[in-house]
Each structure stands twice: as structure tokens, then as C-alpha cells.
């Protein structure tokens, strides 16, 4: 599972479940004598998000309008849009809900009580030093313990998680922000997802899985 961390980071947001960690695995990265660029050398929060693309995500709880920053997070933005264009996100569920932290999706379908990971393309390079910050309402890429492992999974910050998810975080890498929720109605849908009761999924053992599936029924790139 892929995942962001909370309090050590309370647990890896699984990105293959976020892999914030790719849940279920991911190799540890080896420390380097030089500091990786991770998409730049900017301090998180030092730039203003520049929305270059808009995407509408329709779910069983409502519609979420998001904006993507292709200027500061070009790799993450292009990666996300490729999954949108391929239709990979349709019928996926928001598989991880941690109140006061994040909601995570983009990695699994859930049919008849069996969770299945979607097919993914090659991982992308981490962009955690692009100047954007994990503040409330922003969207980031989930990954495993390997900084350069993000594929399809993404998360929405429910609160300001800058102190735990921004570069360098506790793993000297951090998590890459690439977009934001665009309006109050969309934030209302995110909050409705965050309010769902959760359990440990019977078929894969992943925690924080909503008891009632919140399913993505359509994803459309507007511009």
C-alpha cells in the first residue's frame, strides 16, 4: 500500500494502498551523500499553486473539482492526467480514510467484497521540493518507502499536514503536492468521505477502509 506518514508517520499511508506506504511493501531507500533534488530545491510553501489543468471526479457521494499544477509539479500532473485519460480511475474506491489526516484513493476497485489493485504504469520521480506544501485541501502523490515509487495513488489533505508530509519529513524525502480541491462544494464531498466509518478490509487486511464504498464513477479532464 502507498502512504503519507503521520507521527512517525503514524503509519505509512499505503500507496498501493496510498503507498504513502504502497501498502504491503516497498523497499527502503538508501541514504545518499548528496541531497536529491526531488523536483527542485524549493522550500515547501514558498510558491503559490498555479492551476494549469482542471479535472472533475464524480463519486457516489458527489462531485469533486480539482486543479492541477503542471508548472510546479509537471511529472506528477502528467502522470495523474495519463491515468485520467486511460480511464483507470473509474470504479476505483477511496480505500483509506483517516479523520484529521487524509483520504486516499486511486489504487483499488472493490467488487463483491474483494479488493483488487488496478494496473499501473512506471513509477515517477518524487517532486517534494517543488515549493508546494501539504496544506488542507491540497492533493499529493502517495508512494512507498522508496521516494521514487508513486504510481496511481493520490491523497487529499484534510488538515495542514505540512509538518509531517512536507520535505524533508521524517524520511528525508517528503510527499509531493501537485494539486488542490477547487471549491467549497468539492471540499464538502471530501469531508463527507472523511466522515465515513472505517474497518479493516476482509480481503486484504488494509486498515482505515470505508465500511461503505465511496466509488469513483467518472473522471473528466476539463482543460
Rounded average pLDDT per 10-residue block, the chain, 223 residues? 51 46 40 78 98 98 98 98 98 98 98 96 98 98 98 98 97 98 98 98 96 98 97
pLDDT at 195 (0 to 100):
98
For the chain, the straight-line distance linking the first and the last C-alpha, in angstroms and rounded, comes to 30
pLDDT at 20 (0 to 100):
60
SS3 193: helix
pLDDT at 34 (0 to 100):
78
pLDDT at 18 (0 to 100):
45
Domain 53-110+122-221 CATH class label? mainly beta
Q: Can you read off the three cell numbers belonging to residue 192?
A: 463527507
CA-based nearest residue to 98, from 218, 216, 222, 7: 7
pLDDT at 12 (0 to 100):
43
Q: Full-prediction pTM beyond 0.85?
A: yes
Amino acid at each position: 500500500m502507498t502512504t503519507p506518514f503521520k507521527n512517525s508517520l503514524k503509519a505509512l499511508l499505503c500507496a498501493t494502498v496510498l503507498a504513502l506506504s504502497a501498502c504491503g511493501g516497498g523497499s527502503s531507500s538508501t541514504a545518499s551523500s548528496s541531497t536529491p533534488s526531488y523536483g527542485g530545491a524549493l522550500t515547501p510553501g514558498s510558491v503559490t499553486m498555479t492551476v494549469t489543468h482542471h479535472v472533475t471526479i464524480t463519486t457516489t457521494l458527489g462531485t469533486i473539482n480539482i486543479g492541477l499544477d503542471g508548472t510546479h509539479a509537471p511529472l506528477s500532473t502528467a502522470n495523474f492526467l495519463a491515468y485520467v485519460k486511460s480511464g483507470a480511475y473509474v470504479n476505483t474506491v477511496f480505500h483509506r480514510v483517516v479523520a484529521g489526516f487524509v483520504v486516499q484513493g486511486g489504487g483499488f476497485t472493490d467488487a463483491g467484497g474483494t479488493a483488487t489493485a488496478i494496473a499501473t504504469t512506471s513509477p515517477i520521480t518524487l517532486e517534494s521540493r517543488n515549493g508546494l506544501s501539504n496544506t488542507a485541501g491540497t492533493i499529493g502523490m502517495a508512494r512507498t518507502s522508496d521516494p521514487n515509487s508513486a504510481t496511481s495513488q493520490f491523497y487529499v489533505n484534510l488538515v495542514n499536514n505540512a509538518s509531517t508530509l512536507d520535505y524533508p519529513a521524517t524520511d528525508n524525502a517528503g510527499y509531493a503536492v501537485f494539486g488542490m480541491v477547487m471549491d467549497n462544494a468539492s471540499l464538502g464531498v471530501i469531508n463527507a468521505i472523511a466522515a465515513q466509518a472505517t474497518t479493516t478490509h476482509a480481503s486484504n487486511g488494509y486498515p482505515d477502509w470505508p465500511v461503505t464504498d465511496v466509488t469513483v464513477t467518472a473522471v473528466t479532464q476539463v482543460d
